[in-house]
Amino acid sequence: GCVLGNKGGNNSGSPKIGNNVEIAVGAKVIGNVTVGDNAVIAPNSVVIKDVPANAIVSGIPAKIIKMKE
């Protein structure tokens, strides 16, 4: 599974996930972040910043490793 959630507190916000996004096993998307359309989040990555559309991200914290064409 994956984890989608806020950081806690009253105004922390929750993730906003675009269309056709792939979130791999073990990935975590935490806080008031936006994941753009057609993005891919690699296994076990931790997303704490916005992910642009068509990006492939990986790591802790997640960073863009490639842009889809």
Could you tell me if 22 and 40 are in contact, meaning their C-beta atoms sit under 8 angstroms apart? yes
Q: What is the pLDDT of residue 35?
A: 98
For residues 3 and 49, the model is more confident at 49
Residue range 20-58, pLDDT digits in tens: 999 999 999 999 999 999 999 999 999 999 999 999 999
For residues 5 and 26, the model is more confident at 26
Q: What is the pLDDT of residue 69?
A: 86
Give the C-alpha distances (Å, rounded to integers) separating 60 from 19, 29, 45.
23, 11, 6
Residue range 9-18, pLDDT digits in tens: 666 788 999 9
Cα separation, 54 vs 52, in Å, equals 6
